Amino acid sequence: MELIQAVRGMNDILPGAVEAWQRLEDVIREVMAEYAYQEIRIPILERTTLFARSIGEQTDIVEKEMYTFDDRNGDSLTLRPEGTVGCVRAGVQHGLFHNRQVRLWYLGPMFRHERPQKGRYRQFHQFGAEAIGWDGPDVDAELIFTAGRVFHVLNIEGVELEINSLGSPDARAKYHTYLVDYFESRRDELDADSLKRLQRNPLRILDSKNPEMQSVIEQAPVLIDHLDDESLRHFEGLCHCLDDAGVPYRINHRLVRGLDYYTRTVFEWVSGALGAQSAVCAGGRYDRLVEQLGGRPTPAAGYALGLERLVELMRLSAGDHRSVPDAYFVTVGEAAELRAVQLAESLRDQGFRIQSNCGGGSLKSQMKRGDQSGAGFAILLGEREMQQGVVSIKPLRSDAQQELVAFDQIATALGTRVSQCGEGRVRSTKHPVRE
């Protein structure tokens, strides 16, 4: 029978790989709490017009990449290609932005029918943060800090911040005209993609990765020279905030972003370690979107971080993000098996991760499974130990001596031993015995 495989570009995340994701999700939750952002959960399906109206009819996402279908009522629905628009839709619908400023975050799968390659998938995951209601550059900086802190906590180095300003829509419209004039004057040098973009979205030509296009792009007029005064002040304000906080950045005049809703600040965190898909995090200001989706005029900014790319950076940073049990419980005999259930439960109550053997087997085969589990210790309970009211704690990752410990002393003994050798492994954030 032919095996049914997963849809191309949509990945299973298997045990062994999931632990890095869990670690990442824990860190995101912690960092978001530290900055007082609140989680929001929004549907994966939305009405197609929502995305078309806000991301932009002429963008790659809306033109080519959305998973769109009619449901049984004939309504056109789309699997969300990103989270910002749904967040704003939900906020407007539920009056979250009425005379209030809100900081939100979300995490979940997004869908884009792109050509799959390393770091680019059709189902991928984003963590996003959105600060709605603030006008100043300080909140742009805060958003940047939150992403920087996620990298820092995960020990990820070499992620570089690039910033730019797209100005007000009026300034951008003027710049648009200069840009079209310039590219028209060098029409012969444009590749097929750029010729198409010249008609529909000339700003996106600046985004071209084609090496042959780079000299034309480099000589193009830059937006920052055509910014309105307010956007320029805002941009300088952001630079000051970043300078004051000692956050290094590079001003990239070619950074334009692929979604139409941006105004003023845009930024990306990029890593050379990721290959072609180098942006691990991207965002900016979208001061018109709330109004565009039926709310009152409300300034806003945010970003989204690509979790597949971040997990890859975690892997490259060589941290061991596997989650392994502290101890593997091995038993011999029926009475020991029953007693072990109680002892293991009590150890879990005290914050330890205990993997029970379950399913019997010889001592040798149980020890082998214990070794494969990655646990630091085996806790052995046989007939002799049962008679004495003790267990034997055997180190599995060192030559240290096996030790007999009374039932009521197991937590203390295991706690001491685990804390002596537990570095580098992922531990639960709360561990009453060890902390």
Residues of this chain that interact with ligand HAM (CB under 6 A) are: 82-84, 112, 114, 120-121, 124, 126, 128, 130, 258-259, 279-284, 286, 302-304, 306, 308-309
CB of 85 to ligand HAM, least distance (A): 7
Considering Cα of 236, then 176, then 62, then 50, what sign does the dihedral take?
positive
Residues 6 or more apart in contact with residue 432 via CB below 8 angstroms: 350, 351
Min dist CB 295 to ligand HAM, Å, is 16
CA dihedral 285, 288, 293, 297 (to 10 degrees): 110
In the complex with ligand HAM, the residue whose CB is nearer, 305 or 391, is 305
Residue with tokens 């996620």: 150
- Least separation in angstroms between residue 112's CB and ligand HAM is 5
| CA-closest candidate to residue 241, choices 148, 129, 133 | 148
Q: Is the CB of 163 or the CB of 327 nearer to ligand HAM?
A: 163
Secondary-structure breakdown of the chain: helix, strand, coil percentages, each rounded to the nearest 5: 45, 20, 35
Output the smallest distance, CB 84 to ligand HAM, in A. 4
Question: Would you say 66 or 304 has its CB closer to ligand HAM?
Answer: 304
HSE, CB side, 13 Å, CA atoms: give it for residue 303: 28
How far is 150 from 303, CA to CA, in rounded Å? Answer: 13
Q: Return the number of the residue (268 or 326) whose C-beta is nearest ligand HAM.
A: 268
State the nearest-atom distance from the C-beta of 88 to ligand HAM, in Å: 9
Token output for 112 = 């884009």
Shortest CB 309 distance to ligand HAM, Å: 5
Min separation Cβ 390 and ligand HAM, Å: 53
* Sheet strand arrangement including 403-406: 354-356, 327-331, 377-381, 390-395, 403-406
Q: Which is nearer to ligand HAM, 40 or 282 (CB)?
A: 282
Residues forming a β-bridge with 129? 105, 303
**What are the structure tokens assigned to 297, written together?**
């005029």
Written as one string, the DSSP assignment of 117-134 is BTTB-SEEEEEEEEEES-
**Nearest to ligand HAM of 146, 356 (CB atom):** 146
Helix (H) or strand (E) holding 344: helix 334-349
Q: Which is nearer to ligand HAM, 137 or 376 (CB)?
A: 137
Cβ at position 343, least distance to ligand HAM in Å: 45
**Which C-beta is closer to ligand HAM: that of 127 or that of 183?**
127
* Residue nearest to ligand HAM according to CB distances in the complex: 306
Q: In what order do the strands lie in the sheet with 159-165?
A: 38-39, 102-111, 123-132, 300-306, 279-285, 263-271, 159-165, 250-251
Nearer to ligand HAM, 238 or 405 (CB): 238
Q: How far is the CB of 68 from ligand HAM (least distance, A)?
A: 16
